[in-house]
Every structure is written in structure tokens, then in C-alpha cells.
Amino acid sequence: MRLRLSLALVGLLLAGSAPLVAAPPATEAHERGRAIYNFRCYFCHGYSGDAATLAASFLTPPPRNFRTTRPEDLGREAMLAAVSGGRPGTAMQPFATWLTDAEIALVVDFIRREFMLEGRANTRYHTTDNGWPDHDRYAPAYPFATGELALDTPWTELSATQAAGKRLFLASCVSCHDRAHVSDPGPAWSSRPLSYPRAGYSHRPAERVDAATGASPYAIHDTPPPLPPGADATVQRGAALFQANCAFCHAADGTGKNWIGRFMEPPPRDLTASAAMVTMTPDRLRATLRDGLPGTSMPAWGQVLDADEIDAIVHYVDRVLHPLARE
């Protein structure tokens, strides 16, 4: 599964912290470098150049922390070469395919000035313009987002304020900050056929009572479609199997428009769309489920589901999501 997490909001510095020094007058070149950095580099190196991101926690060696790198220890030419050609043996990939030489120079000069020379905080994520008015209301949750307190700290060891902060973090912040710090990391990833944020949460108060959108534009697709009246046992079994195994990528309603589905490339098939299903026969769908689709994120389920279970899913898709073509 390749997730296009270009909107990855993990590991970002909180809006409450102040820049280290007063900002100098901006220049056009510097702002162009900032725009490139914020689009291409922040996911691993962080908005503030400190590599304090969730992505960084999974990389060995970790991305460079520019805030602790002195300009004399890392020259401009070496940085230009690293951005252009990558760094073998690390997660740093070559960007010459996507950036021109001039753009590479702009982003390198931005990094050197913004982080290495002047120790600035760059662009804040949690701003009113980004949809986060009054972000300080989440202050009790900050210790869990920054890792100051482990998320799996037993409730009995937390003060009343810390316990309230943990509940706030779990309700409002965990979707993007994930587990900022835990004593027992557990598995790196466990799949669930749900979109995030969960439980109808939205940081925009007006949306919290919006039954149509709920937590996000994806939440509506986490509701399975109703079964037809008098649905037989096979349809009911197929519905349960679909939700347990297929909905994680294809969404509970079969559209593939849930959170995970929207960040997969190529995207999951919309099992409700005529354009995508016009040539889909029962035999073809059965084979796809059994053998997978090379070049996509569709795995082979033949070692997970038996033939009767695959048949039940095919029957469910045919009866509930979209009629299958007959030859």
C-alpha cells in the first residue's frame, strides 16, 4: 500500500511555541524556497526543520535535523548535491526529477538561512488560516502530542489535568499526531476498516453537528449501505466479510472514497460506479479477489478467504453495490 500522505500532519510543532528570534524582512527568493520546502520536505524534516515527525521515527538513519546542524559542518555544495542526487543508504531521494537546479538552490538557501543560521520556526501549521482557530484550547493535550508524556501512561498515574489532556488528545489530536510517544510501541500499523478522525470529531465546531459530513469529508463513506429487503444468508455473510476485509480500502459503502482510499495510488475501484463495473463479471471479480491485481494495492485474498467466502463477497457486491455483468 502506497499512501500519498502529502497532507501528512504528523509530528508538527504546536502553534503555542514562539520563534527563537524576531523574523527579518522576507525576500521573494526566500519565500519561494519556503514554499518548496513546505511542499516537498516537511514530511520527513518537519515544518521547523527539526525532523520531529512521525515519518522520521520509522526511518533509519533518521532525517537530518537542520536546527542542530551548523552551516560550517554542512556546506552549501554538499546540500545541493544531496537534494539533487539523494543520499544512498538513507531515505533521502533525488529531487532532480521534480525540481530544477534553480528550485534546488532556492530550497537549500532557505534551509540554511531559516533553520541553520537563524533557528526560526518556519510556517506554523495550527493557524486560523489552516482551519485551527484558537488552537490554544488544546493546550492540555500538548504534552501527549509533543511526547512529554507517554500516551500509554496508566490512567492511575495521571493527574486530573493530565487525564483530561489525554482524553482530549485521543478525541481530537491522535488522528494526525498518532502516538507521539509510548512506552510500548507495539505494531507499527494495524489495519481497520475505518476512516479518521473517528467518532464524529471535527475541529471545526460547525461541522460537529453536521450529520452529512461528520468528522471529515470521508466519514460518510464509513456507513455500509442497507441490505435489500429479504437479503439471503449469503448476502448477509458477504456483507460481513466485505466490511471486515475490503472496506479498509474500498470504504464501507464500496466507493473507495474513505480516508485510506483517497490516498492510495492507483485508487481502489469504486464498486458502485457503472463506469468502473460495466465489464466486471462474477468470474472476473472472483479471480481478482483470489489472485489480486499486479501493479496495484489489491492483494491476493486466496490465502486468507476460502472459495465460499469469496463467493459470498461476489454475491454481496452483485446484489448490494452494483449488478455484475453477465456474458
* CA–CA distance, 121 with 152 (Å, rounded to integer): 29
Q: Which residues pair with 264 in a beta bridge?
A: 3
* CA–CA distance, 184 with 145 (Å, rounded to integer): 16
* Segment 46-54 mean pLDDT: 85
What pLDDT does 133 receive? 82
Question: Within a 10 A sphere around the Cβ of 168, how many other Cβ atoms?
Answer: 18
Instruction: Output Rg (C-alpha) for the chain, integer angstroms.
Output: 24
Q: Name the 3-class secondary structure at 153.
A: coil
* CA–CA distance, 92 with 59 (Å, rounded to integer): 10
- Asked whether the domain spanning 220-321 has the same topology as the one spanning 1-129, the reply is yes
What pLDDT does 108 receive? 97
What pLDDT does 195 receive? 41
Between these two residues, 275 and 56, which has the higher pLDDT value?
Answer: 275
* CA–CA distance, 318 with 280 (Å, rounded to integer): 10
* CA–CA distance, 180 with 156 (Å, rounded to integer): 20
Amino acid at 114: E
What pLDDT does 164 receive? 94
Over residues 7-31, the pLDDT tens digits come to 333 333 333 333 334 445 568 999 9
> In a 10 Å sphere around its CB, with 0-12 CB exposed, 13-18 middle and 19+ buried, how is residue 276 labelled?
middle
Helices (H) and strands (E) in the chain, counts: 14, 0
Residue-range domain boundaries for the chain:
1-129, 145-190, 220-321
Give the C-alpha distances (Å, rounded to integers) separating 326 from 255, 274, 285, 288, 318.
22, 14, 12, 16, 11
pLDDT at 264 exceeding the cut of 90:
no
Over residues 277-311, the pLDDT tens digits come to 999 999 999 999 999 988 888 989 998 899 999 99
- For 174-207, the three-class secondary structure string (H helix, E strand, C coil) is HHHHCCCCCCCCCCCCCCCCCCCCCCCCCCCHHH
CA dihedral (28, 33, 36, 42) positive or negative: negative
What pLDDT does 326 receive? 85
* CA–CA distance, 12 with 9 (Å, rounded to integer): 6
**Domain 220-321 part of CATH 1.20.1250.20:** no
Give the C-alpha distances (Å, rounded to integers) separating 92 from 32, 187, 265, 268.
21, 25, 21, 28
What pLDDT does 178 receive? 64
Candidates 3.20.20.140, 1.10.760.10, 3.30.460.10, 1.10.10.60; CATH matching 1-129: 1.10.760.10
